[in-house]
Structures are given as C-alpha cells and as structure tokens.
Amino acid sequence: MYYNQVPTLTHWRQPAYDLTGTWKGDDGGIYYIRHLNNNRIWWTGLSDNGSGHNWTNVLEGEVTYDPTGAVEVSGQWYDVPRGTNRGSGILGFSVRLGDLVKTYQSSGFGANILRKIS
C-alpha cells in the first residue's frame, strides 16, 4: 500500500439495536413493536392506553442504519376496524435518546414521540 492510500471498508456492520417491545405514544396510545432480524418492523397501535376503541393501526416497515449510527424507521400504516378511524399513510421516525421521534408523515398520524415502556 502506498502512503496516500486509505483502506476502504469492505462491509459495514450495523449496530445491535432492537426496537421490539411495548411503547407509549404522546397520543395516549400503546404500540406493540416487533423488530425482526432482517430489519423489518411491524407494530400494532391501540388508542386510549391500549383499548383501541377510537383507533387501532398496524405498520409494516423497515429499520435502516447509517454509518454514523443513526437509526431510522420508515413504513406504511393503516387503521383497522377495531377502532372507528380509517386512516393510512407513510411514516418516518428517528431514534433519539432511546425514543422514536416522528420525522415524516404523509397524512394525519397522531403520535409525535414513542417512548419504550417494556
């Protein structure tokens, strides 16, 4: 190797970060998240501290990592018939200090912050 050559990374290992658990939203909802090994993410969100009578939604998405270690979540969500709402859209969240903080929404999704409770 010559003096001005810098070795390049042939692969980058993502950090071990698991979002699986129960999360409380600032909208009063409870979100049950499953983070799979292939960086897919699924959740069920239920309004009214978990009863789901006003709204119940599901999300299917992806967890991505950048070289700085930032963790991003993006996905498509849908309300399901347990509640009375019938919304849907695209969401983006970023992990900041352990919380999921909303960074993007295509339509009216209520929660801005999700905090892990178990």
Position 15 scores a pLDDT of 54
pLDDT in tens, 91-107: 999 999 999 999 999 99
Beta-carbon contacts of residue 99 (< 8 Å; ≥ 6 apart): 113, 114, 115, 116
CA 59 to chain centroid: 9
Distance (Å, whole) CA 35 – CA 44:
12
- pTM for the model stands at 0.86
Q: Which domains does the chain have, with CATH numbers?
A: 21-116 (2.40.128)
Judge contact between 112 and 26, C-beta under 8 A. Answer: yes
Judge contact between 35 and 18, C-beta under 8 A. Answer: yes
pLDDT in tens, 39-83: 999 999 999 999 999 999 999 999 999 888 899 999 999 999 999
Q: Which amino acid is at 24?
A: K
pLDDT in tens, 70-79: 999 999 999 9
